[in-house]
């Protein structure tokens, strides 16, 4: 019996390795060339007398406001504090650049016309809506939005948001904003279609960031991710039993798709759930579809959500 058990274990491990290998691509020969410009260092260390020189170099960033606005911003105590905090966390940007390099290589693997953008770091005065902005040849990163979830500057932010204000999330947010520039979602308003549209988006992140953990990719705490995995079958049963899959009720967006402290099943256990649980379920459906169908990443983006659902053979884990 022991020998049979060992054989079965080996077969399971081999099967798992094959599945993981199918998702992994070799990007070692793909070349990407980009620079990282630490704009915040120049900005907060520039004297009033030298501002014109800085403005000439960064006219695309500093010409939309009167000079006095920028000069006051340079001396602002709160922003100087954010700059000093960012210097402690990002004195060495090597690790983040390596992560971005891997991201850009994977994007180029799937999209050969992609060109790695120039990366410009800056301080945004806690602009949580736009921590990363991708604009064709430029990628702006607000370092003050990645100082660590326990940093005092985030004390007024909800915990489900500040959970992701950490260095490790930069590459995820960069991937998301790059994807957002070209990803087109289906127009259907049913809850199932919305989940699968979000699932496609998450599978793109899977493909571009194969070594990043699931909790970082979707922005759940490790506890919330564990809850999702442990209760996957009950979540799916709730959607089925309440006939939500083909519902056009837009309130389902707020309950299960949009960012929130928790999802709203209207049960006592709601606060244990992560927000956006519908996105996570859609992600699992798309993963199941890609596992059970010989489809390229580009082809996935053209498949209708209904076809993905029917051919996914999705079975929630027990």
- Say which residues have a Cβ less than 8 Å from residue 131's Cβ, sequence separation at least 6: 124, 141, 142, 145, 146, 173
Last residue of a domain, one of 180, 210, 231: 180
Pair 158, 203 in one domain? no
End-to-end CA distance of the chain, in Å? 26
Does residue 220 lie within any of the structural domains? yes
The answer, as to whether pTM is greater than 0.85, is yes
Same domain (yes/no): 175, 43: yes
Encoded tokens for 189? 């308003």
Pair (226, 273) in one structural domain: yes
The CA distance from 225 to 239, in Å, is 19
Q: Say yes or no: 84 and 174 in one domain.
A: yes
210 and 140 belong to one structural domain: no
- One domain for residues 159 and 220: no
Q: What is the pLDDT of residue 102?
A: 98
Tokens of 236: 């799916």
Question: Do 51 and 72 fall into the same domain?
Answer: yes
- Tell me, yes or no, whether 202 lies in a domain: yes
The domain boundary, picked from 180, 208, 236, lies at 180
CA distance 3 to 139: 55
At 154 the pLDDT is 97
Residue with tokens 């442990």: 230
DSSP H helices, the chain, are 2-23, 39-44, 51-57, 59-62, 67-75, 77-89, 94-110, 159-162, 170-180, 191-208, 214-218, 222-230, 232-241, 251-252, 277-292, 297-300, 305-312
pLDDT confidence of residue 310: 97
The pLDDT value given to residue 318:
72
Residue 139 sits in the same domain as residue 218: no
Tell me, what's the pLDDT at 317? Answer: 79
DSSP, res 289:
H
The 10 Å Cβ neighbour count of residue 26 is 8
Q: Domain for residue 2, yes or no?
A: no
Can you give the pLDDT at residue 64?
86
Residue 253 near residue 247, CB atoms below 8 Å:
no
- Tell whether 86 is covered by a domain: yes
Coil, strand or helix at 130:
coil
Q: Is 246 exposed, middle or buried (0-12, 13-18, 19+ CB in 10 A)?
A: exposed
Q: How far apart are CA 133 and CA 140, in angstroms?
A: 5
Q: Decide which of 129, 156, 180 is a domain's last residue.
A: 180
Contact of 191 with 244, CB cutoff 8 Å: yes
245 and 299 fall within a common domain: yes
Give the pLDDT confidence score for residue 185 in this predicted structure.
75
Looking at the domain assignment, is residue 133 inside a domain? Answer: yes
Angle at 177 between CA 173 and CA 183, to 5 degrees: 130
pLDDT given at position 3: 46
Answer yes or no: is 284 within a domain.
yes
Characterize the bridge pairing of strands 138-142 and 118-122: parallel
What 8-state DSSP symbol labels residue 30?
Answer: -
Asked whether residue 105 is assigned to any structural domain, the reply reads yes
The length of the chain is 318
Domain of 198? 191-312
Query: pLDDT at position 8, please?
Result: 39
- Which pLDDT tens digits describe the chain residue by residue (318 residues)? 444 434 433 333 433 433 443 468 999 999 999 999 999 999 999 999 999 999 999 999 998 899 999 999 999 999 999 999 999 999 999 999 999 999 999 999 999 999 999 999 999 999 999 999 999 899 999 999 999 999 999 999 999 999 999 999 999 999 999 999 988 877 778 999 999 999 999 999 999 999 999 999 999 999 999 999 999 999 999 999 999 999 999 999 999 999 999 999 999 999 999 999 999 999 999 999 999 999 999 999 999 999 999 999 999 977
Select from 215, 216, 213, 217 the least CA-distant residue to 198: 217
Residues 64 and 124 in one domain: yes
State whether 257 and 151 are in the same domain.
Answer: no
Angle at 80 between CA 74 and CA 81, to 5 degrees: 165
Judge if 238 and 288 occupy the same domain.
Answer: yes
Q: In 3-state terms, what secondary structure has residue 259?
A: coil
List the beta bridge partners of residue 61: none
- Counting the structural domains of the chain, the total is 2
User: Is there a domain that residue 8 lies in?
Assistant: no
């Amino acid at each position: 019996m022991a020998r049979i058990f060992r054989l079965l274990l080996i077969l399971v491990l081999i099967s798992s390795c094959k599945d993981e290998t199918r998702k992994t691509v070799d990007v070692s020969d793909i070349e990407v060339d980009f620079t990282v410009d630490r704009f915040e260092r120049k900005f907060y260390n520039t004297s009033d007398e030298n501002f014109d020189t800085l403005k000439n170099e960064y006219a695309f960033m500093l010409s939309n406001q009167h000079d006095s606005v920028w000069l006051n911003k340079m001396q602002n105590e709160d922003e100087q504090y954010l700059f000093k905090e960012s210097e402690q966390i990002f004195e060495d940007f090597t690790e983040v650049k390596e992560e971005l390099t891997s991201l850009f290589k994977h994007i180029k693997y799937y999209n050969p016309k992609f060109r790695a953008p120039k990366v410009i770091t800056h301080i945004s005065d806690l602009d949580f809506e736009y921590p990363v902005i991708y604009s064709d040849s430029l990628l702006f990163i607000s370092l003050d939005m990645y100082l660590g979830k326990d940093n005092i500057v985030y004390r007024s932010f909800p915990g489900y948001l500040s959970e992701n204000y950490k260095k490790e999330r930069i590459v995820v947010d960069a991937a998301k904003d790059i994807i957002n520039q070209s990803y087109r979602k289906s127009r259907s308003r049913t809850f199932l279609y919305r989940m699968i549209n979000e699932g496609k988006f998450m599978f793109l992140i899977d493909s571009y960031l194969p070594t990043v953990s699931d909790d970082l990719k979707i922005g759940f705490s490790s506890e919330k991710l564990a809850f999702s995995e442990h209760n996957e079958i009950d979540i799916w049963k709730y959607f089925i039993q309440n006939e939500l899959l083909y519902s056009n009720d837009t309130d389902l967006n707020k309950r299960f798709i949009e960012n929130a402290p928790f999802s709203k099943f209207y049960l006592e256990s709601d606060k244990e759930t992560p927000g956006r649980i519908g996105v996570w379920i859609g992600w699992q459906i798309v993963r199941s579809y890609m596992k059970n169908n010989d489809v390229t990443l580009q082809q996935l983006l053209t498949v209708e959500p209904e076809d993905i659902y029917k051919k996914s053979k999705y079975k929630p884990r027990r």
